[in-house]
Structure 1
Amino acid sequence: MAESRNVGVTGASRIFDMLRQDLLDGRFAAGDKLAISALRDHYDVSLSPLREALNRLAAYGLLEQENQRGFRVPRLSREELDDIMTMRKALEGMALERAILQGDAEWESHLLAAAHRLKRADEAGLTGNEWEALHAEFHHTLVRPCGSVWLLRFIAQLHDQFDRYRRLAPAIPEIRCELDRQHGELMTLALERSVEGARELLDDHIQLSYRVALGSCGEQTT
């Protein structure tokens, strides 16, 4: 019995990860209702782990659960994006300040390595999920020593919500170049223990990325 439960948990976790990635990639259109039968066939999974994964994604905020009517992909809205952006600035900025004050030599080496891998990916023109993984790793490494597991969890969730908008928006190459450059500057300021400078740049970095993400709402940047 215990072995059967463990298999179910593993299956639900696998489907959670796959569905999460597909939702961030825009495989399902915003506002679409998900057909359970189609999902079972596509992911080759039984109903129980699929429903567990869908419930977890609804609790996480990447799906909406409708009473007795299944699950729907959340719609995109300027109001929600504004809220996500504001919360990212507040929580990520707080975490960055703590990380700079508390980070040790091991953190410095991990941050240098993450920044280097991301820069190499930028120079190679890497795109898609490979680049996204390196980008997420850099931002996570930047704030990792903040000393709060819950703060890191909230930041990770906000990143996913923000990225759903950003990755569905049309590319703006000149802004992307500036964002890429800022990653190196953020690393430098963090290693120099410049709390004020790093937080100011992080706010600008999030605001600049927000200008790109606005495109998913059908709005022009200013």
Structure 2
Amino acid sequence: MVISREKGRTTTSGRIYDTLRQDLVNGRFAAGEKVSISALKEHYGVGLSPLREALNRLAAYGLLEQESQRGFRVPRLDRRELDDIAEMRRELEGMALERAIRFGDAEWESELLAAAHRLKRADMVPEAVDEWERLHNRFHRTLVAPCGSVWLLRFIEQLHDQFDRYRRMAPEEPQVRRVLDAQHGELVTLALERDIKAARELMDDHVQRSYEVALKGAMTGAD
């Protein structure tokens, strides 16, 4: 019975961690906002123990700041931090893409084509923003999946979450969005052609264009 209760608490903690992580990335909480534990308990319908476990994990992950004994706060948006995140994305995601192109097999090619197809179909439904974001993340994960390094993939995932905090605060820019969407297809083509140099250059440009959008989110969130 003790083991069962412990397992149940771990499952609840994992569930609330995933939900809170997504809400933090999506901007449900304002940058700099102090998080009310009692309000979170009520909103998510969880107990204090699994909630605190989730909050501590999110603080270690970088999506929350722990304030000594005073609780937790959503990190503020900062231009210098975004610059650092974008630079690390260029370095690490570019490295992972090069390795993925070298190591990826026919199964990866099929999965990449499928991921790109789903993302393109989601582009046709502008109101399905959450679904597009989910498929967008899946596409980028699939693109670099065969890089051969679990740690590299973990770092990239963390950078994406931090980067998206800024990007999702930015105003809509349909023209830029169309360019970025087109680049997804171009990345697939270059990956399948095994053109490492061109793929790396395009990834750098893709991150830079996304950064320029996210920067406007940083300015918006700082107001």
Relative to the length of structure 1, the TM-score reads: 0.97
Where does residue 34 of structure 2 map in the other structure? 33
Structure 2 contact 113–188 (Cα < 8 Å) conserved: yes
Where does residue 74 of structure 1 map in the other structure? 75
Where does residue 20 of structure 2 map in the other structure? 19
Structure 2 contact 169–218 (Cα < 8 Å) conserved: no
Q: Which amino acid aligns with 2:189?
A: T
Q: Provide closer, same or farther for how the CA distance between residues 166 and 204 of structure 1 changes in structure 2, counting only shifts above 3 A.
A: same
**Secondary structure of 2:4's partner?**
helix
Which consecutive residues of structure 1, in runs of 5 or more, have no partner in the other structure? none
* Alignment of structure 1 residues 126-165 onto 2, 5 Å: 126-165=127-166
- Note the C-alpha offset of 1:29: 0.4
**Secondary structure of 2:66's partner?**
strand
Post-superposition Cα deviations, 1:58-101, rounded to whole Å, max 9, x if no partner, equal: 01100000101100000001000000000000000000000000
Equivalent-residue separation in structure 2 for 1:168 and 1:85 (angstroms): 16
Where does residue 211 of structure 1 map in the other structure? 212
Q: Which amino acid aligns with 1:107?
A: W
Alignment RMSD, CA only?
A: 0.9
- Note the C-alpha offset of 1:125: 2.7
Post-superposition Cα deviations, 1:9-31, rounded to whole Å, max 9, x if no partner, equal: 00000100111111112111000
Equivalent-residue separation in structure 2 for 1:207 and 1:142 (angstroms): 18
1:6 pairs with 2:7 = yes
Post-superposition Cα deviations, 1:148-174, rounded to whole Å, max 9, x if no partner, equal: 001000000000000010001111111
Where does residue 116 of structure 1 map in the other structure? 117
* Alignment of structure 1 residues 67-106 onto 2, 5 Å: 67-106=68-107
Equivalent-residue separation in structure 2 for 1:194 and 1:185 (angstroms): 11
**Secondary structure of 1:100's partner?**
helix
Equivalent-residue separation in structure 2 for 1:100 and 1:59 (angstroms): 32
**Secondary structure of 1:198's partner?**
helix
Q: Which amino acid aligns with 2:153?
A: L
* Amino-acid identity (%): 69
- Note the C-alpha offset of 1:102: 0.3
Q: How many residue pairs align between the two structures? A: 219
**Secondary structure of 1:168's partner?**
coil
Which consecutive residues of structure 2, in runs of 5 or more, have no partner in the other structure? none
Q: Which amino acid aligns with 1:38?
A: A
Question: Which stretch shifts more, 32-41 or 124-133?
Answer: 124-133
Equivalent-residue separation in structure 1 for 2:128 and 2:136 (angstroms): 10
**Runs of 4+ off more than 3 Å:** none
- Note the C-alpha offset of 1:127: 3.6
Q: Which amino acid aligns with 2:74?
A: V
Where does residue 126 of structure 2 map in the other structure? 125
